[in-house]
Amino acid sequence: MNDIGALAMIFDEQGRTLLVHQTYDDCKWAFPGGRVELGEAPWEAAVRETKEETGLEVEIVRLISVYYFSDRETLGFHFLCRVIGGQMRVDGNEISEAAFFEPTQLPTPMTVPARQRLADALANCAQPTLRVYDRVEIIR
């Protein structure tokens, strides 16, 4: 396994989801998150990365899904989170913008798995979803 990642899925009171615009890797819109550091649990990484990228303090509500990307040997954990503090601001290095979007009006570019993560969250399944991808497509 080359990488383990974790991300936070956050919804506001209107049901909109928080996305960040990355300044790297095709400048995609994505959910706040990143790599799990050595000695760190995935849920801790999701909380840390969200704070670093958006300024928001969150707590984990539950695990939504786990994705395995065979082409990159990467495992991703996706958590539903709720905001418990902080002020929205972006770091300016990795993230150029953070905003809430209606699930039916998502920005581009965004990967197919990112859109599927949102669908998994909205399905509100009792158990986490496991998905396997051979390669990632970007919707432009």
What's the token pair of residue 51? 């704070």
DSSP label at residue 42: H
**Segment 84-113 mean pLDDT:** 91
> How far is Cα 68 from Cα 61, in angstroms, rounded to an integer?
22
Of 80-84, 112-116, 117-121, 131-135, highest mean pLDDT: 80-84
- Single-letter residue type at 95: I
Q: Which domains does the chain have, with CATH numbers?
A: 3-139 (3.90.79.10)
Surface-to-core class of residue 81, CB atoms within 10 Å of its CB (0-12 exposed, 13-18 middle, 19+ buried) = buried
User: According to the model, what pLDDT value does residue 136 have?
Assistant: 64
Residues paired with 98 in a beta bridge: 20
Residue 1 has pLDDT above 70, yes or no: no
14-67 residue pLDDT tens: 999 999 998 887 778 999 999 999 999 999 999 999 999 999 999 999 999 999
**Segment 75-85 mean pLDDT:** 96
